[in-house]
Amino acid sequence: MLELKNVSKTYTQNNQQVEAIKNLNLSVKERELIALVGPSGCGKTTLLKIIAGLISATNGEVILDGKKILNPGKDRGLVFQQFTLFPWLTIKENISFGLDLQNLDDKKKTEIINHYLGVTGLKDFAEFYPKNLSGGMQQRVAIARTLANNPKILLMDEPFGSLDSQTRSQMQEFLTKLWEAEKHTILFITHDVQEAAFLADAVYVLSKRPMEIKNMFSVPFARPRVHTLKHTKEFFEFENKIAQELER
C-alpha cells in the first residue's frame, strides 16, 4: 500500500550539495511491520519525513494506496523519538487531538479514547498532564494518540531511543502485542539491530550516506514473540547476520 519509487533527496549545506538519499525503492504491504536499520546520520529521519509529507523529495515519488504524497496528513501518523505530547493537554485530550479535528460524534470519540487508554494501561492517568508521566508512559500516549486517529500507516522514528534499556524492552513488548492484536501497518526506524529483528516481519538494511537499501532480511520467527526469544541461539545468529550486513 506504500510505495517509494526512485526517491532521492539532495539538500544544500554550507554551500555544498549533499546527497542524503539516492534512488530508494521500497514497498510496504498492508498489515506489515517493517523495520529499517541504518547507522546514525544516514538520513533515516529524512526518509521518514518525506514519507510523512513534512519535507519533499528532490526526485521520485511516494505513493500511498495509489495516490501521490505531497503534504502531511492524518493518513500517515508519525511517532517521534522526542516526546511530542502537547504539554497543555491532559493525556485524554492528547489522545483525542486528532479525533477533535474530525467531525465524529461524542460517543464514537469516547469509545476510541477509552479503548486506547485501556490498551496503553493508562486509564488511571487520563486527567494527568504529560509532565507528570515517565518517558515510557509518554511514548505510550504518543503511540495511542497517533493510532486513535486511524492512520493508514504508522511511521516511527526511533521511538524508544531515549528510553533506558529496561523501559525499552517493555515498550517493544507493548508494541508487538499491540500490533498482533490490531495489525496496523507500521514502518519502524531504528539503529538497534536487536530491536528491528524482534519487532519486524522484514528488516531492510540501509547504507551510509547517500542512503540506499543494501539488503532485505525476512524475519523467520513465529508470532506471538516474547522477550525470551532474544536470548535464543537462532535469534542471536540472525541478529549477527544483519549486523554484519550493516557494517559491510
Partner 1 sequence: MRSDRKISKVQYITLAVFGLLIFLLGWSLLTYTGFIRSFFLPTPTKVLSSIVSLLTEGSLLSDIFASVYRILLGFLLSLVISLPLGITLGVSRKFEAFTEPIIAFIRYIPPSAFIPLAIIWFGIGETEKVVILFLGVAPYLTLLIADIVINTRHELVEAALTLGATGKDIITKVVFPNALPGIWDSFRIMIGAAWTFVIIAEIVGASSGLGHLMIESQRFLRTDNIFAAIVVIGFLGLATDYFFKITYKIFFPWTEKSHA
Q: Phi and psi dihedrals of 65, rounded to 5?
A: 50, 45
Return the range that interacts with partner 1 (CB under 8 A); candidates 9-17, 73-81, 211-219, 223-231: 73-81
Count of other CB atoms within 10 angstroms of residue 152: 16
Instruction: Decide: is 43 part of the binding site for partner 1 (CB under 8 A).
Output: no
Dihedral Cα 222, 228, 234, 237, nearest 10 deg: 120
Instruction: Decide: is 9 part of the binding site for partner 1 (CB under 8 A).
Output: no
List the x/- string, 79-98, binding to partner 1 by CB under 8 A.
-x-x-x-xxxx-------xx
How would you classify residue 135: left for phi > 0, otherwise alpha for psi between -120 and 50, otherwise beta? alpha
Tell me which residue of 209, 227, 147, 225 sits closest to 17, measured CA to CA. Answer: 209
Instruction: Decide: is 221 part of the binding site for partner 1 (CB under 8 A).
Output: no
**Helix pair 91-101, 135-148: axis angle to 10 deg:** 20
In the block, which residue shows the cell 522514528? 157
235, amino acid identity = F
Instruction: Decide: is 101 part of the binding site for partner 1 (CB under 8 A).
Output: yes
Backbone CA torsion sign across 30, 31, 32, 35: positive
Nearer to partner 1, 12 or 103 (CB): 103
Instruction: Decide: is 169 part of the binding site for partner 1 (CB under 8 A).
Output: no
Angstrom distance (rounded) from CA 74 to CA 57: 19
Nearer to partner 1, 188 or 238 (CB): 188
Nearer to partner 1, 95 or 175 (CB): 95
Return the range that interacts with partner 1 (CB under 8 A); candidates 36-44, 147-155, 164-172, 184-192: 147-155
Return the range that interacts with partner 1 (CB under 8 A); candidates 66-74, 119-127, 184-192, 229-237: 66-74
In the chain, where do the E strands start and end?
Answer: 2-13, 16-28, 33-37, 59-64, 67-68, 76-79, 153-157, 185-190, 202-206, 213-218
Closest approach of partner 1 to the CB of residue 140, in Å? 15
Closest approach of partner 1 to the CB of residue 126, in Å? 14
Interface residue with partner 1, options 9, 22, 44, 76 (CB under 8 A): 76
Closest approach of partner 1 to the CB of residue 98, in Å? 4
**Where does this chain bind partner 1 (CB under 8 A)?**
49, 52-54, 72-74, 76-78, 80, 82, 84, 86-89, 97-98, 101-102, 129-132, 142, 145-146, 149, 151, 155
